Structure 1
């Protein structure tokens, strides 16, 4: 089977650290180009922007969009109009409305659109979903805390409107719990801590309920130094389940059921290849919808200014 010629648009840290190695190990794709204003990849054709790429390399079949969400809509629409399959880094867009429009455009053009949530491909997530599907959830406690200076050095876009602030990592936790919890859940209250000199929150505390009144709480914080925390603890009628280390370690009761390595981005590209082969799209906006709800319902609290 011939491989799909793919280009990465937006060549920042996540593209270099995760997308390139995942593509290198996936025979379904051949990385043939990069489009980026400020970065290039040795041995791969480079273009300054996506339109130049589309004009000069009509042979490219798929585009992996890794640019910030504020500019992703116009890039995705151009790629779809050119007949390319499109994979969207998370979050899939700056607004729900633009992602829905991209879904419609992709369907009309007959191409694949894949809105990705890499944390759903962590090692323990699938087994956690299967186990929880037959249990009644009583409570959920999410602790997603990390050091923004370590993971996003100098990235001003994350603090601007549409950049999501602490929800940039927090949406990873939301992507997991929307995938594994057997019932839909809804925000009841929230508090967003916003630095005096920024638009996006640096921390957030959220409370949700599901149809059975389970207590679901999430704490996101970008001010944690030292060891980083990406943990989800769930109490059920059959005992506790924990997904820790970003979802790579699954514990049920006192037994460690799964402890795997980093398979998230390889999983994404395997899924993208499957979607292309089957002529399908996968555009789940549930995690982004919860973030939008937090900005709608959450109370904003001003905190100390943040400086790099």
Structure 2
């Protein structure tokens, strides 16, 4: 199937383009970006021009930042194309609900992707927890914004989500593996005095689940989820790629490179089935954090 990639930035070049190139399901037939291009692929700066020039393209994958994503997704759906959304699926819950209704009315596929759910050990962790009682849990998700979003000012603008851009990856895993849903009860958000989105957050959920997100960690990065159950301790390390049971490694790999190929395989299956997958549970927790969060001002942040 022919596919167009919209938003040729770091995540697109690091993950999407290699995944598409290696896939037996997809051919990258066009790109849309203000500045970025992919060698050998027709490039456009406006999605409307791309859509009118390529009626043969069935699917549009959107990698641009959340705030402008809705208009691009709407244009693609109105042109009769299936749509794949990089996480988070939008800047607001309401706009994603609108896209879901639009896709359903047109019989098109809409896929709100959560790449961290495709990490090596997530399915095994979900299976292990399925018949166990969860007593408590801890998420520690700390990374360096300068490494993963160098100079990308939009991440600290309204709609950019700040530290929840990576933190939502942890929440996507949590909502996938827990045998029963939880909801947020309290949040503390640290905003740099010169920014519009938080650089750190501490969250409390029902079920004695706590989360610690921070975008200021230099050196080794930390992506851990630890769950205490009636059958002992379970942990997911390395962003869901390594599973530990009782402190001993049970399975996993040290690579995150297979997450995006799995997403594109899933998208191919959804298109063939005429189905959609729009799970907004991780984003609900983020929205609740902004609603309930107690705001604290911290020192200015500059890239």
- TM exceeds 0.5? yes
Q: Match of 2:183, SS? A: strand
SS of 1:185's equivalent in the other structure is coil
Query: Which residue of 2 is the match for residue 268 of structure 1?
Result: 263
The residue aligned with 1:222 is 215
- Divergent runs of 4+, >2 A: none
Query: Which runs of structure 2 are paired with 1:1-308 in the superposition (5 Å)?
Result: 4-209=1-206, 214-260=207-253, 261-262=255-256, 263-308=258-303
Secondary structure of the residue aligned to 1:232 is strand
Tell me how far apart the structure 2 counterparts of residues 138 and 254 of structure 1 sit (CA, whole Å). 17
Give distance in 1, aligned partners of 2:35 and 2:199. 27
| Runs of 5+ consecutive residues of structure 1 not aligned to the other structure | none
Measured against aligned partners, the alpha-carbon deviations of 1:103-151 in whole angstroms (never above 9, x if no partner) come to: 0000011110000000000000001001101100011100000011111
> TM-score by structure 1 length?
0.97
Q: TM-score, normalised by structure 2?
A: 0.98
Gap regions ≥5 residues in structure 2: none
In structure 1, C-alpha distance between the alignment counterparts of 2:101 and 2:137, rounded to whole Å: 34
- Between the aligned partners of 2:232 and 2:272, the Cα distance in structure 1 is 40
Question: How many residues of Structure 1 are paired with residues of Structure 2 in the alignment?
Answer: 301
Cα distance in 2 for residues equivalent to 1:293 and 1:254 = 32
Rounded to whole Å, the distance in 2 between the matches of 1:219 and 1:48 is 39
Partner Cα separation in structure 2 for residue 258 and residue 78 of structure 1: 43
Distance across 1 between alignment mates of 2:137 and 2:261: 28
Structure 1 position 254, deviation (Å): 3.2
